[in-house]
Structure 1
């Protein structure tokens, strides 16, 4: 039987015969402004069209045979699905009791136990078997715990762990990769991303969705790494967000994958008396690329993450001009690479001070913006040096851009003088 949880208005338009339900109602009770809205309706298409007439927006039939419709208006998504059976029967089919809520006539109703879950701010399945009705639900539970700051009591963790074992034994039951990608992205974009990743590992879902990262659990490193590889990874994710709360998804993914190659490259060096991981950045970049492509991340995202992983072990020079050349060659990875390098050092022992030294050096070197293009065009370079179209023109433009980054060339006149000198003497080596 439905329980009355609260008397309150629903601050969004609700068409006749439709009832706001699920996460939007949950967020309302948790003091959050709902982002997207779900409605169960006696006639979903009619309710969706009525809402469109009132609010405008674009209406899409997601699955007209099943009666699923989506209205996108003002950056908000409104989903309409059919009410099958009674309101209580609808809620009994949902995943967690905090999601089994609905609004009707100025009041919020839920299942038995929902009021206690709200008070304790915890996630408890409506019924454990409901997790098997949509196999994404266990992953969503971890994501909700991380993004909303909700607890997972022991009984919930055991239920999620049992479901994780089922998924490992039945890979054919895995949810669509696009749906998995969306949940993992939401988890990583949370301020509590490191906490969420730890939960994934603890309940066994890390091995389901990121088996390549699960290989880092318990992997001892030694040297400056006082933490095993997985704990170090969590520390780097945490410190990345501490240094840069607005970190991009690519930077967060790179922090997660930056040492994934260590499981395949670990070798014990008898002379040094410790483990080495030669080539782990290059191997890790390829693992990250394959993993993210499998999860259907956009190719542009995949390639940037792979480059960040490959470059995270680069050693920035100390001298300012050399550092500006270093940054110019990697400016497509900025500022992600700088924060990744710094977070990596904060996740180790004895080199933490390098993180702040690096960031200070980077900030000083970038006080003057890096040049975006050479001061002279390719045609001007060919006319000045008497060159035909070809690779030599590209080399000259590259040398000019590096000289601009160093601050040696600031005007077109200086650019011409530099290129004439460069033709006679060659460009200095640049790191």
Structure 2
């Protein structure tokens, strides 16, 4: 039976014969402004064309054979799909009751229990079997719980655990990797990303979608680490977003994968009386690259994350000039790397002060911009040093740029003097 959930207008254009449904209505009832609008229609193509005629934008088929169309206009995405059966039939096929909503004639209607779920801000499946109709729905449930601050009643948790076990037993049922990537990206870009990842592990979905991270759970570290490797990872992700709420996806992924190499490199060192993880950053970088490649993340994302994981254990030098050299050599990783390194320290015990010192030094260094190019060109270097084109010219330019970063060189005259001294001090 359908219930009137709330009397209210729908503040977006609705073509004739179309009905707004799903998450946009949920967001409105939760006090949020939706960006993605879903409509069911008797004739989706006609409704999409009518909307384009009224709003403009770009219209294209998502799946013309199934009657799925998308209109992108301004910051909005409008998706049109066929109405199969009645509106109640449509709602009964949806994933969670707070998403099983439609708008008609000034009111939002839903299934029995939807109004209660919205009031309590909890996520309850329409029917457990609906999770199996689209295998992504359990992962989406965790993402919605994290991003919208929704609770998961114990019955919902048990349903999601059963679905996770089913997916582990039937890998052929897994959703397309691109769809998994999009859900994981949305989860990580949430301010409550660490909470969402913790939910994934508790519900058994970490083993389904990010199995390379599962060995971190319960993995003892020792030393400055009072948390096991998984809880430390969640703490680092939490602290990264605490320090830098605008952190991009690459930095968040690097926090998630920064210690993934530890279970593969753990060795007990009797000389120090504890476990050590020599080389875990290099190993972790390759694991992260492979995992993100499997999930079809863009190549540039894979490379940036791998570089951050590889460099997260680097020790910044104390001396100011050397510190600026350190930053220059890694400037393509700024500001992600300093924030990741600081978050890593905040996720440990007894080294928290290093995090604030590192960020303070990075801030001070940023007040005097690092040089972006050498003061002399390659042709000028060749003429000055009598060099032919080749690797030696590149080494000279790199040495000059590093000297500029240190503050030892600030003019063309000083650059020439530095290079002459540099050339004279190198073996013939």
Q: Deviations over 1:7-28 (max 9, x none)?
A: 1111100001001100000000
Tell me, in whole angstroms, the C-alpha distance in 2 between the residues paired with 1:324 and 1:366.
9
Tell me, in whole angstroms, the C-alpha distance in 1 between the residues paired with 2:376 and 2:148.
53
Q: Deviations over 1:142-199 (max 9, x none)?
A: 0000000001110000000000000001111110000000000000000000000000
How many residue pairs were aligned? 427
Q: Considering only aligned residues, what root-mean-square deviation do their CA atoms show, in Å?
A: 0.9
Question: Cα offset for 1:53?
Answer: 0.3
Equivalent residue for 1:304? Answer: 304
Q: Secondary structure at the match of 1:98?
A: helix
- Residue correspondence of structure 1 range 228-377 to structure 2 within 5 A: 228-377=228-377
Equivalent residue for 1:2? Answer: 2
Q: Secondary structure at the match of 1:110?
A: strand
Question: Cα offset for 1:271?
Answer: 2.9
Tell me, in whole angstroms, the C-alpha distance in 2 between the residues paired with 1:220 and 1:197.
19
- Residue correspondence of structure 1 range 130-209 to structure 2 within 5 A: 130-209=130-209
Tell me, in whole angstroms, the C-alpha distance in 1 between the residues paired with 2:407 and 2:141.
53
1:44–1:67 contact (8 Å) kept in structure 2: yes
1:288–1:306 contact (8 Å) kept in structure 2: yes
Tell me, in whole angstroms, the C-alpha distance in 1 between the residues paired with 2:283 and 2:424.
41
Question: Cα offset for 1:209?
Answer: 0.5
Tell me, in whole angstroms, the C-alpha distance in 2 between the residues paired with 1:391 and 1:265.
36
Query: Which shows bigger deviation, 70-79 or 309-318?
Result: 70-79
Q: Secondary structure at the match of 1:103?
A: strand
Do residues 388 (structure 1) and 397 (structure 2) align?
no
Tell me, in whole angstroms, the C-alpha distance in 1 between the residues paired with 2:426 and 2:205.
56
Q: Deviations over 1:193-219 (max 9, x none)?
A: 000000000100001000010110010
Question: Cα offset for 1:332?
Answer: 0.4
Q: Deviations over 1:107-162 (max 9, x none)?
A: 00000000100110000000000000000000000000000000111000000000
1:338–1:359 contact (8 Å) kept in structure 2: yes
- Residue correspondence of structure 1 range 43-54 to structure 2 within 5 A: 43-54=43-54
Query: Which shows bigger deviation, 410-419 or 219-228?
Result: 410-419
Tell me, in whole angstroms, the C-alpha distance in 1 between the residues paired with 2:218 and 2:312.
22
Tell me, in whole angstroms, the C-alpha distance in 1 between the residues paired with 2:33 and 2:162.
33
Question: Cα offset for 1:75?
Answer: 2.6
When normalised by structure 2's length, the TM-score is: 0.99
Equivalent residue for 2:212? Answer: 212
Tell me, in whole angstroms, the C-alpha distance in 1 between the residues paired with 2:126 and 2:267.
48
Q: Secondary structure at the match of 1:81?
A: strand
Question: Cα offset for 1:426?
Answer: 4.0
Equivalent residue for 1:103? Answer: 103
Equivalent residue for 1:413? Answer: 413
Query: Which shows bigger deviation, 28-37 or 379-388?
Result: 379-388
1:324–1:366 contact (8 Å) kept in structure 2: no
Q: Secondary structure at the match of 2:6?
A: strand
Equivalent residue for 2:226? Answer: 226
Q: Secondary structure at the match of 2:315?
A: coil
Equivalent residue for 1:16? Answer: 16
Question: Cα offset for 1:411?
Answer: 1.5
Tell me, in whole angstroms, the C-alpha distance in 1 between the residues paired with 2:392 and 2:354.
39
Q: Deviations over 1:348-398 (max 9, x none)?
A: 001011100111111112220011111111111111111110011001100
Q: Secondary structure at the match of 1:65?
A: helix
Q: Secondary structure at the match of 1:85?
A: coil
Tell me, in whole angstroms, the C-alpha distance in 1 between the residues paired with 2:319 and 2:35.
48
Tell me, in whole angstroms, the C-alpha distance in 1 between the residues paired with 2:158 and 2:376.
65
Equivalent residue for 1:117? Answer: 117
Tell me, in whole angstroms, the C-alpha distance in 2 between the residues paired with 1:302 and 1:419.
37
Q: Secondary structure at the match of 1:69?
A: strand
Tell me, in whole angstroms, the C-alpha distance in 2 between the residues paired with 1:175 and 1:352.
41
Q: Secondary structure at the match of 1:166?
A: helix
Tell me, in whole angstroms, the C-alpha distance in 2 between the residues paired with 1:208 and 1:273.
36
